[in-house]
Chains A and B, each alone.
Chain A
């Protein structure tokens, strides 16, 4: 699961823990969810429908935006999604702005009139999407970003509760909506690595201290790796490695910037690809250092929360610590600008003795668990429902 999916699963869990009955509706495309089973409330967004087009033109990387047009505009899809809603919901939680057109049509048609609206923003999406589309040379980048900005503004306007994942995002949303915005930061679930998994992975991983980079194939993860570390990994001693875990790995290996000094870079990385949760837990526990080379994007990064919770050395950029500034004082946590400062600290940390356990810091890290970070969301929702 990528970060957004993890967050949404935790939001649902938090509602359920308060006794609410929660039903989810989701549109998915097969390429992005390959290998994951669809639930009975997961609806397929076909790749071949004209709703995929942007103003009549095929534009990549905007399926999220066009999915909302499909959900509200395609009569069959609209009926299917609407009929899937069981009973009269008290609350509609719109996670991300993409399906706003569906919620808007429900409102316009007077459906679910008692439902209060929660808008959960994981990012300020408009500038993030503009950056990604510009990287791929897409001419419509600015027009699409403007459409997303309108969608985000309308979601705020419609919502009874607005949720942000970082103080920076909260300020932006509050300024744009003129409404109070609740900070419901990203968190993590505690993990446990089994002895068997630790033993198995120890033999597969570098014998010397290694840095761990966990990331999906999300474009900012790929560009962030190179923006923070540069084209050459020669700054690492010959016996030190960066272990790359997740969908980002193959994209890093194939990237022209990696290939510039291919043999050298190859000697400094180990790419593991996608692994299951027990393996992820073991690799995190065996890492000497977790790096967060994120240089673009809004929101806050669940990977940052996980890294902070690990008790390992953590090295991130100012972007990657967005939403987690309170933790910058923890022992072993380092922030550096992308480029030379990031590389310098990374090389130094890999040659330090392992981070020693610190009970006081460990207590502070408990605040990173979802049960703490989503507390304000639950309180705000209860208040709205009580009113």
Chain B
């Protein structure tokens, strides 16, 4: 439904919650930022309006405070779903298993012939599977159910209003359309940049997203009155990219992300049955989506070497969803006899369970090849846990002098350091104690207030 001019309210601050309304899992990464900001706005009673954006209709729709509260509540109560060890088999492995089971039910002659046929077509079937998967990922945002019925009329944002959007805008928005709407309606835009990794490190991303993201960032910069970057490193990367693309440099500022939400969640945490067995033995923790960029591989390789050296290894717990390009790695981990039962994966872990996992970890690991910020490092420190961390990108901004840094590609260094940390628990205890004594997590409330302050500044700035 298109905007009704009579519904146009007075100039104000509009917060886009499109991404939040689509989210069906516990808050992670970008969703956490939107979640925390909205929660703070509601709790402190700020004078803001909420809206969502319909990409196909190029139109804003109002969202009530009650709808936002209900969605925050839904996200907060999402449960940790997947079980601990063994490693999940992955989509392809699952499909293979299904096919083999079905074949086994056929008469022996037919089974053999069909098996041989499937083996012959396997390479092309794999390619087809990959293409379908990529296509599905691209289609998903279009096919996702509308967060609320479009029964209410669309709205125009009054001239001088500030529109704040911090979600998965490359999925839910077309920045060129927003640029046009902004020109027509006269509002201002405050956007976020979490990283420019798809363009900076295209080899770590699926298919052609690099050039698509370059287009997105260029239009984002044109549409934005201000862009909040989540680290100095990301701000530098964004400005460097804009220079490469010839886009006028946007007003890009750094915003300091919070790191205190999980300790708060821990205070009231009932332990989920999915993680309870893990807590009975020492373990190391790596919280991150499982994808090539996060470099789980170096930990797998280091663990195999340490296992060959006969070291008694603590369990290594990966918390995060499997993403693109890691099926072979996950398969290796599942099948490698040297580390059987030593690496486990948890998926869809809620805040309460994650807090418990941080609390009981010996220390944490973060070998990522590149980051926009590195929230898990901040969370680790907030729980008083030492982190062995990659030295790249924004991570030194997060870990400061509380953690140790290694080149993420330097396998011998990771092997040596891990051996030392595993065999010197007293050293780790001392570092943990020092962190607990000195580290003060940045409060999410302060982050939210900082974002809000930026939006208010835009309200009063000249057009």
Residues of B within 8 A of A232 (CB): 214, 218, 244-246
B214 near A238 (CB under 8 angstroms)?
no
Within 8 A of A (CB), among B211-256: 211-212, 214-215, 218-219, 222-223, 242, 244-248
A261 near B214 (CB under 8 angstroms)?
yes
Say whether, besides A234-B247, A235-B248, A343-B246, A264 and B179 are in contact (CB < 8 Å): no
Q: Compute how far the CA of A235 lies from the CA of B242 in the bound complex, rounded to whole angstroms.
A: 9
Residues of A within 8 A of B456 (CB): none
Residues of A within 8 A of B223 (CB): 238
B244 near A238 (CB under 8 angstroms)?
no
* B269 CB-CB contact with A under 8 Å: no
* A262 CB-CB contact with B under 8 Å: yes
A22 to chain B, nearest CB (A): 49
Residues of B within 8 A of A261 (CB): 211, 214-215, 245
Digit string of A223-264 for contact with B (CB within 8 Å is 1, else 0)? 000000010111101110000000000000000000011111
Within 8 A of A (CB), among B240-280: 242, 244-248
Number of interface residues of A (CB under 8 A): 16
Q: Compute how far the CA of A7 lies from the CA of B219 in the bound complex, rounded to whole angstroms.
A: 43
Q: Which B residue's beta carbon lies closest to that of A339?
A: B246
B175 near A238 (CB under 8 angstroms)?
yes
* B59 CB-CB contact with A under 8 Å: no
* A267 CB-CB contact with B under 8 Å: yes
Say whether, besides A232-B245, A235-B246, A238-B176, A264 and B183 are in contact (CB < 8 Å): no
Residues of A within 8 A of B183 (CB): 239
Q: Which of A233, A239, A260, A263 has most B Cβ within 10 Å?
A: A263
B419 to chain A, nearest CB (A): 45
Q: Compute how far the CA of A271 lies from the CA of B219 in the bound complex, rounded to whole angstroms.
A: 21
A234 near B211 (CB under 8 angstroms)?
no
Say whether, besides A238-B222, A239-B176, A239-B183, A264 and B248 are in contact (CB < 8 Å): no
Residues of A within 8 A of B242 (CB): 234
Digit string of A250-285 for contact with B (CB within 8 Å is 1, else 0)? 000000000011111001000000000000000000
Q: Which of A237, A239, A264, A340 contacts B215 (CB 8 A)?
A: A264
B244 near A267 (CB under 8 angstroms)?
no
A264 near B180 (CB under 8 angstroms)?
no
A234 near B246 (CB under 8 angstroms)?
yes
Q: Which B residue's beta carbon lies closest to that of A239?
A: B180
Residues of A within 8 A of B222 (CB): 237-238
Q: Which B residue's beta carbon lies closest to that of A240?
A: B222
Q: Compute how far the CA of A278 lies from the CA of B244 in the bound complex, rounded to whole angstroms.
A: 39
Residues of A within 8 A of B214 (CB): 232, 234, 261, 263-264
Residues of B within 8 A of A263 (CB): 211-212, 214-215
Residues of B within 8 A of A260 (CB): 211
A264 near B245 (CB under 8 angstroms)?
yes
Q: Compute how far the CA of A184 lies from the CA of B223 in the bound complex, rounded to whole angstroms.
A: 49
A134 to chain B, nearest CB (A): 27
Residues of A within 8 A of B180 (CB): 238-239
Residues of A within 8 A of B211 (CB): 260-264
Residues of A within 8 A of B212 (CB): 263
A267 near B245 (CB under 8 angstroms)?
no
Digit string of B170-196 for contact with A (CB within 8 Å is 1, else 0)? 000001100110010000000000000
B246 near A267 (CB under 8 angstroms)?
no
B248 to chain A, nearest CB (A): 7
Say whether, besides A234-B245, A234-B247, A235-B247, A264 and B176 are in contact (CB < 8 Å): no
Residues of B within 8 A of A267 (CB): 176, 215, 219
B238 to chain A, nearest CB (A): 13
- Cβ contacts A to B, 21 pairs, < 8 Å: A230-B246, A232-B214, A232-B218, A234-B214, A234-B245, A234-B247, A235-B247, A235-B248, A237-B222, A238-B223, A239-B176, A239-B180, A261-B214, A261-B245, A263-B211, A263-B214, A263-B215, A264-B214, A267-B215, A340-B246, A343-B246
Report which B residues bind A (CB closer than 8 A). 175-176, 179-180, 183, 211-212, 214-215, 218-219, 222-223, 242, 244-248
16 additional A-B residue pairs with CB within 8 Å, beyond A238-B222, A261-B211 = A234-B214, A234-B242, A235-B245, A235-B247, A237-B179, A238-B179, A239-B180, A239-B183, A260-B211, A261-B214, A261-B215, A261-B245, A263-B215, A264-B211, A264-B215, A267-B176
